[in-house]
Chain A
Amino acid sequence: MEKHLAVGAGAGFSGDRVDAPAPVVKTLIERGGPAAIIFEMLAERTLAHAQLDKQRDPTKGYEPLLELELRPILADCLRHDIPIVGNFGAANPRGAAAHIQRLAKELGLKPPKIGIVEGDDLSGPAGEAIVRKYIAKEYAGRPFASANVYQGAMEIAQALKQGAQVVVTGRVADPSLTVGPAVAHYGWAADEWDKLGGATMAGHLLECGAQVTGGYFADPGMKDVPDIANVGYPITEIAPDGSCICTKAANTGGLVDTRTVKEQLLYELHDPAAYLTPDVVADISQAQVTQVGKDRVHLTGVRGHPRPATLKANVFFEGGWLGDGEISYAGPNAEARARLGAQIIRERMGHLLTLRFDLIGVMSILADDSGRMLEKSPVGNATDVRLRVAGAHADEAVIEHLMREVTALWTAGPAGGGGARVTKRKRLSTTSCYIPRELVPARLSFVEGP
Chain B
Amino acid sequence: MPLVYADTSALFAFFHPRDEFSQVVTDAVLQSVPDFVYWSFLRYELRHNLRQSRTDSDGEVAWKALRAGERTHARLRWQSDLRAESVIEVADELSAQTALASKAGSADFLHVAAARRLQLLSGLDEFWTCDAEQGALASAAGLKVRRFELKTPPRGSRR
Q: Do A and B come from one complex?
A: no
